[in-house]
Amino acid sequence: MKTAITICCLLLGVFTKAQTAEEKLIQTVKEFHQALVKKNTVSINQQTDKLLTYGHSNGWIENKPALIKNLETGYMIYNRFKEDSVQVAIAGNTAHIRFIADIAATLNGKEGLFHLKVMEVWIRKGKRWLLFARQAVK
Let me know: does 61 contact 54? Beta carbons within 8 Å: yes
- Domains parsed from the chain with CATH numbers: 20-137 (3.10.450.50)
Provide mean pLDDT across the span 71-82. 97
Cα separation, 114 vs 92, whole angstroms? 32
Bigger pLDDT: 1 or 114?
114
**Collapsed DSSP state (helix, strand, coil) of residue 119:** strand
pLDDT averaged over the chain? 91
pLDDT at residue 134, rounded to an integer: 98
Provide mean pLDDT across the span 35-60. 97
pLDDT band at 40 (very low <50, low <70, confident <90, very high): very high
What residues contact residue 5 under an 8 Å CB cut-off, 6+ apart?
none
Provide mean pLDDT across the span 93-114. 97
Closest by CA to 90, choosing from 18, 23, 15, is 23
pLDDT at residue 1, rounded to an integer: 57
Bigger pLDDT: 138 or 19?
138
In percent, how much of the chain has pLDDT > 70?
87
Task: Give 55-71 pLDDT, tens digit per residue.
Answer: 999 999 999 999 999 99
| pLDDT higher than 70, residue 6 | no
